[in-house]
Amino acid sequence: MTAAPVLETKGLTIRFGGLVAVNDVSMTVPEGQVLGVIGPNGSGKSTFINLVTGHLRPTSGQVLIDGTDMTGAKPWTIANARVARTFQIVKPFRGMTVRENVAVGIMYGPEGVGRMAPALAAADEVLGQVHLREAADRAPGELSVADARRLEFAKALALRPRLLMLDEVMAGLRPAEIEPALALIQRLRDEGLTIVVVEHVMKAIVAVSDQVMVLKEGRLLMTGPPNEVLADPRVIEAYLGTKYAERQGKRDA
């Protein structure tokens, strides 16, 4: 018997009034794989994450974590199933230091240590993983864009997830800042973590993804290996419009 995929959705759909933001998406992520999620702005990427993590309830369809139906479960229930996520709009606790922000996750997470001293020590370890140790005593509000994203990443890691969902953690980073973020994702994957990466930076998607899923207007356009997906005329068209895809077609003919 093969193990159930860490994440599976079946016909996942959510309507906001007349808009179907995620439309009949069925997909799986096997254990230990990195799934890249791409798609134009507004194609439903963040909404997809929100549906998996319980921040939104689907209109129809199912979310299965490790083969268990978790459809409609609350965010803390999903977190207890060892699913952690970052938010595209960073959400630190403002009254706490960077270290305390991470320690809270360690204390109250699924493997919660319950005591502050060991949690603070463990927080420093997680901050080291994201290269943010030097900023441990600072207030989140003082951080640069890049460092605020690192903190968001660290808060998710502090929950010791099995499935990690990253929503544009590299947005606004300079190329030199992207490399360490990619290296971290690759290392986490090597350690056996299953990861869903929503990202606009194509180079990043190609570098870390085993499979890439493309959303367009809420629908699953295609899934495949990164280089195949990025070369697919349907994907080029989704990003750049029909004209460009036609021109590419003529050039290749």
- Name the site residues for ligand ADP (rule: CB under 6 A): 16, 19, 21, 39, 41-47
* Strand pairing category for 7-16 and 19-29: antiparallel
Nearer to ligand ADP, 44 or 140 (CB): 44
Counting contacts by CB under 5 A, is residue 13 touching Mg ion? no
Q: Which stretch binds Mg ion (CB under 5 A): 75-83, 86-94, 110-118, 141-149?
A: 86-94
Compute the distance between CA of residue 223 and CA of residue 215 in angstroms, rounded to an integer: 9
Phi, psi of 16 (to 5 degrees): -115, 95
d(CA 148, CA 150): 5
Q: What is the CA radius of gyration of the chain?
A: 19
- Which residue's beta carbon is nearest to the bound Mg ion? 46
Least separation in angstroms between CB 197 and ligand ADP: 13
Where is 105: in which H helix or E strand?
A: helix 98-108
Q: Which is nearer to ligand ADP, 96 or 171 (CB)?
A: 171
For Mg ion, give the closer residue by CB, 32 or 40.
40
**CA quadruple 140, 142, 148, 153: dihedral sign:** negative
46 binds Mg ion, rule: CB under 5 A: yes
User: Whose Cβ is closer to Mg ion: residue 2's or residue 41's?
Assistant: 41
Residues that bind Mg ion (CB under 5 A): 45-46, 88
